[in-house]
Structure 1
Amino acid sequence: MNLLEVVGVTHTYGSFRSFRRKEKAATALSDISLSIGEGMCLGLLGTSGAGKSTLGKVILGVEKPTKGTVLFQGQDLYTMGAAARKHFRRDLQVVFQDSFSSVNPRMTAEKIISEPLENYERLSPSELKRNVAQLLEVVGLHADDMKKFPMQFSGGQLQRINIARAIALKPKMIVLDEPVSSLDMVTQTHILTLLNELKAEYGLSYLFITHDIRAAYSVSDALAVMDKGRVVEMVQDKDEIFSSQQPVVKKLVSSILPEHPRNRTLLNGDVFV
């Protein structure tokens, strides 16, 4: 059984009246179906406005779809009872793009990471502190960092704290919504390496939402590409994405730059700098 099943999901934002006219309903998602197995990462690619983040919100239970079903561990997300929903909240975590707006600036790293543990576990203060220290070490930071505030960390360090918070409850799956797009290339590489290591160590499943095919390829097992609210390409072997004939996919593939500037060329043969 797949961990996550999205079946025929359509999401439409309702019509409304503006000055002297009625605006038509806007369809954000149209008949989306996909699945994620245990220990698998599905990379969800697409340009801005393709519907990736809207689908992420539907999967997280933030926006109920107009049509279709979202099953998590075999249970319908939008009809499950309170007890099942509590388990769902524990087993499905999220890491957002903006590491700074994802945390309370008045909280220390210790408080940020311990928040989900306090909500779900009955731990003594010393046990809580020990758990936070271990989580900081797991994501490549130090136990001494727990007393620092968000403004004392770089963007990459703060994203590690967000990841530590996300794995604190040992979830089944994490939705990663553009988790590295606001970071520099070196920091991106470090965070992507960390995500791969955590996936292997904890058996995590990921939905990795991004516009960056290079980032998606580095952590994903399978890839799905969205355009205008639809999935236009789905490959179970990520290498197959490079032979796709879909125009949107070809555009994403062509956006990958060679690592050395001398090998970067435009379509007319000029050097890209």
Structure 2
Amino acid sequence: MSLLEVDNVTHSYNSKRLLRRKKESEQALTDISFRIEEGTCLGLLGPSGAGKSTLGKVILGLQRPQRGQILFQGHDLYAARIPHKLRRDMQVVFQDSYSAVNPRMTAASIISEPLENYEKLSPAEQYRTVVELLERVGLSETDVKKYPHEFSGGQLQRINIARAIALRPKLIILDEPVSSLDMVNQTLILKLLNELKSEYGLSYLFITHDIKAAFAISDTLGVLEKGKLIELYESKNQFLTSSHPVVTLMKESILANHPRSRSLPTRPI
């Protein structure tokens, strides 16, 4: 049994035409199917508007699909009753680290939210856990009482990651978690995510438009285009050698760090 099974998921939005005020169905996802195994990362690539974030919301239970099924640890996420533990085993890290937190809450309060919802810890135990989490993501006890505006974007994303791993979940949905960061912080955050994946046996759905970021963390790759999962690749080499027109365009759009070497390597990785 796979950790996450997405089977034939279709989702659409109703939109109104301005002149006739007629509702039209706008297809966001069409017959999406894939699996994520324990301890692995699926990198879901696609341009803006491809449906990546919508798919993330459907998997998180935030938007019910019109058709299809989401199975997490063998349980239907849209069934009438979902085991309490199932909810704690799936967490999320969003793209915008600032909008993902309450600006009036301290770092300790932000990280403590899932602990207060699912754990019964004494104040001393909770504080100790928060400090351990801060230190694990590269911050320190001196950051406990700071507010979001006192952190850089990279530091605040570390706090969001600390909150996501607080309950030791099975799966984390990473929705463009590094796209708003500079190159240095992108590299550091991806390194941290890889370390946590190995240390805690985490699984990731890594939603991104950045092929290089996907290559840095993913075990398998999928390509989403206009709401359809057009390709699934079991390895990075399969992606590199793919002749699919959409994938070819994605590869050609990559710029290397130096102009003289601006092309995606074609040798095996």
Taking structure 2 as the reference length, what is the TM-score of the superposition?
0.95
Once residues 20 and 3 of structure 1 are traced to their aligned partners in structure 2, the CA distance between those partners, rounded to angstroms, is: 45
1:107 aligns with 2:105: yes
Q: In the aligned structure 2, how far is the partner of 1:222 from the partner of 1:101?
A: 29
Q: How many angstroms apart in 2 are the aligned matches of 1:45 and 1:185?
A: 19
Deviations for 1:35-76, whole angstroms, at most 9, x for unmatched residues? 100001000000001010110010000001010000000011
What is the aligned counterpart of 2:89 among 88, 91, 96?
91
Q: Deviations over 1:171-218 (max 9, x none)?
A: 000000000000000100000000000000000000000000100110
**Residue 107 of structure 1 aligns to which amino acid in structure 2?**
M
Cα distance in 2 between the residues matched to 1:15 and 1:151: 37
Report SS of the residue matched to 1:14.
strand
2:22 aligned counterpart, secondary structure? strand
Displacement of 1:17: 5.6
SS of 2:34 mapped into structure 1: strand
1:41 paired residue number: 41
Matched, 1:20 2:20: yes
Matching residue of 2:213: 215
- Separation (CA, whole Å) in 2 of partners of 1:190 and 1:80: 41
In structure 2, stretches of 5+ residues that fail to align are 264-269
Q: How many residues get paired?
A: 263
Which of 124, 128, 131 is 1:130 aligned to? 128
Amino acid at match of 1:154: S
| Map of 2:266 onto structure 1 | none
CA distance in 2, matches of 1:238, 1:143: 39
Identity score, percent = 65
Give the one of 230, 249, 252 matched to 2:250: 252
Counting only pairs closer than 5 Å after superposition, residues 172-251 of structure 1 correspond to structure 2 as: 172-251=170-249
Question: Following the alignment from structure 1 to structure 2, what is the Cα–Cα distance between the partners of residues 241 and 193?
Answer: 22
- Determine the structure 2 residue equivalent to 1:271: none
Do the aligned residues in 1 keep the contact of 2:93 with 2:175 (CA within 8 Å)? yes
Instruction: Check whether the contact 2:254–2:262 (CA below 8 A) recurs between aligned residues.
Output: no
The 1-side partners of 2:74 and 2:237 are apart by 29
How far residue 80 of structure 1 moved from its aligned partner, in angstroms, is: 4.5
**Residue in 1 that maps onto 2:138:** 140
Question: 238-247 or 104-113: which moved more?
Answer: 238-247
> Hey, what's the Cα distance between the residues in 2 that align with 1:174 and 1:75?
17
Quick one: distance in 1 between partners of 2:255 and 2:14?
40
SS at match of 1:157: helix
With the length of structure 1 as denominator, give the TM-score of the two structures: 0.93
In structure 2, how many angstroms separate the alpha carbons of the residues matched to 1:61 and 1:21? 30
Match of 2:152 in 1: 154
Shift of 1:123: 0.6
Superposed CA RMSD: 1.3
Q: Which runs of 5+ in 1 are unaligned?
A: 266-273
Q: Secondary structure at the match of 1:7?
A: strand
Distance 1:214 1:190 in 2: 14
- Could you tell me how far 1:244 is from its partner in structure 2? 1.0
**Residues 256-265 or 179-188, more deviating:** 256-265
The offset of 1:106, in angstroms, is 0.8
Shift of 1:88: 2.2
